[in-house]
Amino acid sequence: MILHFVATAPAKVNLHLGVGEARADGYHDLVTVFQSVDLWETVRLSVDTRAPRVTQGSVVTGMTTSFGVKRPAEDIDTPANLAWRAVDAVVDAYRRTDGAVSLPRVSIEVEKNVFVAGGMAGGSADAAAALLAANAFVGHYGGTTLSRDTIVDLAKSLGADVPFCLMGGTALGTGRGDEVVEMMSRGLYWWVFINPSVPLPTGEAFSRLDDLRHNDASVVPHLNTTTLSRCLLTGEPRLVARALHNDLQPVAVAMRPQLRALLDFAADCGLRAIVSGSGPTVALLCEDEEDALDARDRIEAAFDGYEIVCAAGPTTGAREVLEY
């Protein structure tokens, strides 16, 4: 008999990304406003109930990913994958609290619907979903689950965006972006996301921003989200569009100049276009679903080969389903 433990988690878009100065640990203090959108990553843990159980080491036997988006050139089905690491983290934490519990082996299946390395937290959504699926797994075989606080702590250890993918909705992120609190927001916001599929390393983008600020004193962090917060309370996409901001956008455009043409064209198709996170995905906010679909069609006709998808937010955060 095969048991399945399944969870899903959403992608994110940064409505605001303010980047502070570099810290001693190499990270930057961030002030960001996240919104979850209805592009979902699904993680399934499959267990053969007849297989022998183990009391130490990884319970993961392997991982396979199916792609609803463009497949990357490199193999991502390795122990370094955030979903795999999340399962191991839950099992290790459970063993620390409940001793050498006997658990069966599991295989991981991931269904990817978020651009790979696109600045939309696809990997972080995988981790968030895997945390919940793994917690259901250890609860089924061990009798109790890890607390929500423990799951959040594990999320922080895995990546800065993972806690938000757990939470979903609209949230203010501080610290590395991993300290998240819910924000008031009204309305539904329709987006078009365009991925030009050009590599844009996050670490290099932050380093370039540091260099830019060192050479130009006028380039300062934008850490105030008051205007955006007020606009989100109105539920009016036009007002929210005016308040969107990303400190990394000038750097992303400098690193990948083709983004400028995409940003300019997209802006003519909707309310406002910005680089999503560290890029390279461009996020276009539209008035409503009809306008988003129309904008998608226009951009597809103009930029052959780019990945383009419509989505709306905010959505809920990660959620689990136990399948037998």
Q: Is 161 a catalytic residue?
A: yes
For 274, the enclosing helix (H) or strand (E) is strand 272-275
State how far the alpha carbon of 24 is from the alpha carbons of 92, 169, 298, in Å. Answer: 29, 31, 45
CA distance 206 to 201: 9
70 is catalytic: no
Q: Which residue has tokens 């095969």?
A: 2
Contact criterion met (CB below 8 Å) for 307 and 195: yes
Tell me if 1 sits within 8 A of 50, measured CB to CB: yes
Helix intervals (H) in 51-160: 82-98, 122-142, 148-158
Residues near 101 by beta carbon (within 8 Å), at least 6 away in sequence: 55, 94, 95, 138, 141, 142
116 Cβ neighbours under 8 A, 6+ residues apart: 67, 69, 70, 71, 72, 76, 122
Measured CA to CA, the distance from residue 121 to residue 87 in angstroms comes to: 18
The alpha carbon torsion through 167, 173, 174, 178 (nearest 10 deg) reads 40
CA 132 – CA 136 distance, rounded (Å)? 6
List, in sequence order, every residue forming a beta bridge with 111; answer none if it has no partner: 42, 66
Q: In this structure, what token pair is assigned to residue 195?
A: 């991925």
Task: Name the helix (H) or strand (E) containing 292.
Answer: helix 289-302
Single out the catalytic residue among 112, 126, 161, 247: 161
Please tell me the total number of residues recorded for the chain in this structure: 324
Known catalytic residues? 12, 161
